[in-house]
Amino acid sequence: MIPIKSERDLKVMRKACSVAATVLDRLCKVAREGVSTLEIDMAAKKIMSELSCRSACYHYRGPDSRYPGYVCISVNDQVIHGIGTADRILKSGDIVSMDVSVVYQGFVGDNTRTVFIGEVAPETRKLVEATDIALHKGIAAARAGNRVGDISAAIQAYVESCGYGIVEEFTGHGVGRHMHEEPQIPNYGKAGTGPLLRAGMTLAIEPMITMGSPEIFVGEDGWTVYTSDGKPSCHIEHTVLVTDAEPEILTIPMQD
Ligand code: MF3
Ligand code: CO
């Protein structure tokens, strides 16, 4: 069953998502050359408490351990679920994806951005721009009456037209009272297939795109996902509301 959010749910859900986006926005300013990924994680913890929300990732249960960080911080060949550490110092040329999922008054907002540190190689910048475009193609397909496969196919078509790889082992997902709800939203698939989209569904759409091979492995920490070929990858995510008209991106930062 895919949850349909009531107007009352949506009131809180909208707020949860704008809080998640605000945390992410502030973290993007913390991520600079010379800063460790642990410092980013500690900043996330502090910002979340200032904004009266908590991390949906902290102590999230995995196959054999609980996630130890507050946000996922993945650098270069790290695809997703990177854990902040004191010895990983950001340097010029890095790309850093920050995945922020927060719980606010019982609802989850989920979003990810990938930022540039210093001077980033043009081909790496292109990867990030393409991932962002792919995400927005997916969002545009998130319309009532369409199916999940329409989102997947839109992302896949764009990514493949650029010659990049699509990570298949992880997907987007419904999001609301829980971080992961139905449906799963793969970043590849066939248009016209899968569950029907209806107004009131809230979806986290999140392409994970690789410059080279889409093959991945999980590192020794049991969480961090890496590209097998060591080439860069990119992850960008929004939480989106399906409506009877245009899809609405919910993870927009609060104005300050
Ligand atoms: N926020 C991620 C997602 O988009 C999941 C984080 S996994 C965790 O699904 F272990 F860090 F919680
Ligand atoms: Co997500």
For residue 112, the model assigns a pLDDT of 99
| Mutate which of 27, 37, 179, 225 for ligand 1 pocket (most atoms within 8 A of beta carbon) | 179
Stretches where the chain sits below pLDDT 70 are 256
Task: Give yes or no for a contact between 242 and 201, defined as CB atoms under 8 angstroms apart.
Answer: yes
Judge if the beta carbon of residue 206 lies within 6 A of ligand 1: yes
Match 């449906």 to its residue by tokens: 183
For residue 76, the model assigns a pLDDT of 99
User: E strand or H helix at 214, and its extent?
Assistant: none
Judge if the beta carbon of residue 175 lies within 6 A of ligand 1: no
Cβ-in-10-Å burial (0-12, 13-18, 19+) of 198 comes to middle
Task: Please name the residues in contact with 235: beta carbons below 8 A apart, sequence gap of 6 or more.
Answer: 74, 79, 80, 97, 99, 112, 114, 131, 206, 207, 208, 209
For residue 255, the model assigns a pLDDT of 84
Look at ligand 1, atom 6, and give the residue with the nearest C-alpha. Answer: 57
In the structure encoding, which two tokens stand for residue 227, read together?
């590209």
Judge if the beta carbon of residue 70 lies within 6 A of ligand 1: no
User: Cβ of 137: how many Cβ atoms within 10 Å?
Assistant: 19
CA distances from 131 to 36, 162, 164, 197 (A): 25, 10, 9, 23
Look at ligand 1, atom 4, and give the residue with the nearest C-alpha. Answer: 110
User: For 181-225, how does the pLDDT look when each residue is reduced to its tens digit (9 = 90+)?
Assistant: 999 999 999 999 999 999 999 999 999 999 999 999 999 999 999
Ligand nearest to the CA of 170: 1
What distance in Å separates the CA atoms of residue 231 and residue 211, rounded to the nearest whole number? 6
For residue 176, the model assigns a pLDDT of 98
Centroid of ligand 1 to alpha carbon of 188 (angstroms): 20
Judge if the beta carbon of residue 77 lies within 6 A of ligand 1: no
What distance in Å separates the CA atoms of residue 45 and residue 226, rounded to the nearest whole number? 25
Ligand nearest to the CA of 240: 2
Q: Report CA torsion sign: 176, 181, 187, 189.
A: negative
For residue 108, the model assigns a pLDDT of 99
User: For 15-31, how does the pLDDT look when each residue is reduced to its tens digit (9 = 90+)?
Assistant: 999 999 999 999 999 99
For residue 189, the model assigns a pLDDT of 98
